Structure 1
Amino acid sequence: MDLLTALTWFSCLAFIFFGINCFYSKFIASEFMRYGLPKFRNLTGYLQLIGAVGLIVGLSFSPILLIISSLGLCLLMLAGFAVRIKIKDNFFKSSPSFGFAVLNLFIALKAFSIYF
């Protein structure tokens, strides 16, 4: 398994987990309340699940879809990071969203360099 495939699967599985938790986890619901964004919890879950599916379908069938999905997840995680900074969470608490933004940007750039 090459690096792009491994990282894509890791990101995909993580976002499936996070996306499903947006609908069912009381902790995630309370976090969105703390962010002041409770109306965006379900949308965030759907976007995470759509992005995860796009990663795997893109990896298997369409490099363009892989790039678009990974860039979309990167932007979603950058927005999450910005929200965390705005509500004054420290960098340690904010770092998972930043890490996933960087991971998905790397996936997009790596896929672009391989396929185009």
Structure 2
Amino acid sequence: MSNSTIFLSIIIALFFAVYGIQCLRSPFMIKEFVRYGMNDSLRKLTGITQLLGACGLVAGLYISIIGFFAAAGLSFMMLIAFITRLKIRDSLNQALPSFFFMTVNGYLAIRYLMLLLNDL
């Protein structure tokens, strides 16, 4: 596994762990999900999924298939977030972080997939 994959996995896992905790606990995030038109159950599910994705990225450093599914899942989640931001007409600056995290997680998913294919 390359150093860039290790570095990105750890950094992205930290971001999603922090964001997952904020999603579960922050009054700001409660208001944001209302603004997105999403209910409280979806906010909690999102936070838990982000925490699981962060753990999956770390576990992926040892078990590539877990890293692949974690990165692919987080990339898909960020695609939905990006579409949501566009749908509610947020500014480009507000939408860009979700696009960035979608792209980085997509890159990580491809890197983990390549590791899996090399092991065959």
Into which bin does the TM-score normalised by the smaller protein fall? over 0.9
8 Å CA contact 2:64–2:115 kept in 1: the answer is no
User: Which residue is equivalent to 2:17?
Assistant: 16
Percent identity, aligned pairs only, is: 36
Over aligned residues, Cα RMSD in angstroms? 1.1
Number of residue pairs matched?
115
Quick check: 89-98 or 4-13, which moved more?
A: 89-98
The ranges of structure 1 where at least 4 consecutive aligned residues each deviate by more than 3 angstroms after the TM superposition are: none
User: Which residue is equivalent to 2:55?
Assistant: 53
Unaligned runs of 5+ in 2: none
Unaligned runs of 5+ in 1: none
1:60-85 deviations in Å (ceiling 9; x for gaps): 2x111100110000000110111110
**SS of the counterpart of 2:61?**
helix
User: Which residue is equivalent to 2:95?
Assistant: 94
Query: 2:7, 2:73 → 1: CA distance?
Result: 19
**In the TM superposition, what is the alpha-carbon distance from 1:114 to its structure 2 partner?**
3.3
Aligned ranges 1:57-72 → 2 under 5 Å: 57-60=59-62, 62-72=63-73
**In the TM superposition, what is the alpha-carbon distance from 1:19 to its structure 2 partner?**
0.3
Query: 2:109, 2:61 → 1: CA distance?
Result: 11
**SS of the counterpart of 2:89?**
coil
**In the TM superposition, what is the alpha-carbon distance from 1:38 to its structure 2 partner?**
2.6
TM-score (norm 2): 0.91
**SS of the counterpart of 2:90?**
coil
Query: 1:74, 1:19 → 2: CA distance?
Result: 15
1:15-59 deviations in Å (ceiling 9; x for gaps): 000000011111111100101103311000010001111111111
